[in-house]
Amino acid sequence: MKFSRFDFPEGFVFGAATAAYQIEGSSFGGCGPCHWDTFSATPGNVVKAEGGGIACDHYHRWPEDLDLLRAGNFDAYRFSTNWARVMPDGVNVNPEGLDFYDRLVDGMLERGLKPSHTLYHWDLPSALADRGGWANRDTAQHFADYAGVVAGRLGDRVMNISTINEPWCVAWLSHFLGAHAPGLRDIRAAARAMHHILLAHGLGMQRMRADGVSAPLGIVLNFDHAAPASASAEDGAAAAVQDAIFNRWFIEAITRQSYPAEALEGLEPYLPQGWQADMAVIGQKLDWLGVNYYTRHIHQAAPGTPWPATREVAGPLDKTQMGWEIYPDGLHGFLTRLARDYVGDLPVFVTENGMANADTVDGGAITDEARIRFIEAHLGAMKQAIADGVNLKGFFYWSLLDNYEWAEGYAKTFGIVHVDYQTLQRVPKASYLALKRALARND
């Protein structure tokens, strides 16, 4: 690895990230059904119709997983709590679920790991999904209740809390593009979800503040560099509308209490009536911002098709196993753009960055050199952003473990630790060992 922790400011936090549904196994511990259970069980939605029933069995193997973080010299662990585990029907608390997270947080602290807690990483309880999920305004209020319960229990021991992971995925990918649960392709539901997920964030923030939660509160947004396919004005406008939907909608709502005109043009007719009155709730002051970054997409005008009238075209750069172009400059671009245009010197964490790679196990070893190069390139982008004045406080690699990659099932592997899904054995990859050396403190 080209970098070590000493290339970054003292106190810079190095961690790895996971999410509950992707690793825990939802069939244990009184966890209720969530919309991913039913979405994945419906043929055609998920590769091999795989779900998160067992996943990496982290629910039973968490001490071993935390030991891996400790032994890898990581400072922190980003995890999420599963709403359907804490509240199986979306409303009433399952004490067993809450106790599990209590032990997990204590397990991190015992190992000297700082817990970074995400409240919602997509495990919407089925009972709420059945009532319209994120298209239904009531879900935002239920989320605030859930946030109050979980933060009330864990908030005194975690390094920070984020309300929602990647609202673009929750809303657009899931209700307009149909790729994630609930698998809708419906602009009306999408517009509502785009607004209600932000309302949930705002109400959750208000609840946790009112309850006196001491941990810094924020949100994790994902950003995807939107490049035009050509220098034409039409392709420039196509990239601008996708930039507005993906990269501007959420951060502008939170920091400016407004939505970008390029996105409102298509979505305003479908937003819930009186949406403007919610903007002050949505615009709660953040203590920190999480940035997830993976790639760029190239957009072309698609005249004659419905709004947003764009299509994606393939790019020329090297690609990961997901088919995503490797474009570290995009990370530097977003970090500096966010500081300049939206958040100033607010503490920022890169809460996810990583690559899926077609790893092979050879004599028990996994030599994922491509992943090491990927991490180096993106650490370089972060280092440059810090030099340019961005108040970047840490980086979490996605992901600690190979895990359930949503619509891709288990076939796409992002982990620095390999998981054998037959035996559930964990095997550290070369990237884990390289990070372990880079993060050693030499004391």
Closest approach of ligand IFM to the CB of residue 123, in Å: 11
Catalytic residue chosen out of the listed positions 24, 50, 252, 352: 352
Asked if 75 is part of the footprint of ligand IFM (rule: CB under 6 A), the reply reads no
Q: Is there a catalytic annotation at residue 405? A: no
19 contributes a contact to ligand IFM by CB under 6 A: yes
Ranges of beta strands (E only) in 186-316 are 217-228, 288-301, 310-313
For 260-288, give one letter per residue: b (16+ CB within 10 A) or e. Answer: bebbeebbeeebeeebeebbebbbbebeb
Question: Token match 């530097």: residue?
Answer: 332
Find the residue with minimal CB distance to ligand IFM: 19
Closest by Cα among 172, 87, 170 to 128: 87
Calculate ∠ Cα 228-230-234, nearest 5°: 75
Does residue 234 have an active-site annotation?
A: no
- Output 123 or 235, the one with its CB closest to ligand IFM: 123
Lookup: tokens for 401: 């473990």
x/- track of binding to ligand IFM for residues 337-356 (CB under 6 A): ---------------x----
**Residue 112: CB atoms within 10 Å:** 11
Burial of 386 (0-12, 13-18, 19+ CB in 10 A): middle
d(CA 349, CA 335): 10
Residues 153-172 that bind ligand IFM (CB under 6 A): 166
Minimum distance from residue 124 beta carbon to ligand IFM (Å): 14
292 near ligand IFM, judged by CB under 6 A: yes
Closest contact distance (angstroms) between CB of 294 and ligand IFM is 6
Hey, CA dihedral for 86, 354, 262, 282, is it positive or negative?
Answer: positive
Nearer to ligand IFM, 160 or 165 (CB): 165
Distance from C-alpha of 68 to C-alpha of 65, rounded to nearest angstrom: 5
Smaller CB separation from ligand IFM, 198 or 271: 198
Per-residue binding string, ligand IFM, 29-68, x by CB under 6 A, is ----------------------------------------
- Pair of tokens at residue 157: 């021991």
Structure tokens at 192: 């509502």
**Pick the catalytic residue: 24, 50, 166, 252?**
166
Taking residue 376's Cβ as centre, other Cβ atoms within 10 Å add up to: 16
* Residue 405 touching ligand IFM (CB under 6 A): yes
The nearest distance, CB 64 to ligand IFM, in angstroms, is 21
Q: Contacting ligand IFM (CB under 6 A), which of 398, 417, 419, 434?
A: 398
The DSSP bridge partners found for residue 396 are 15
Q: Does 224 bind ligand IFM (CB under 6 A)?
A: no
Q: Which residues are catalytic?
A: 166, 352
The binding site for ligand IFM (CB under 6 A) comprises 19, 22, 166, 292, 352, 398, 405, 414
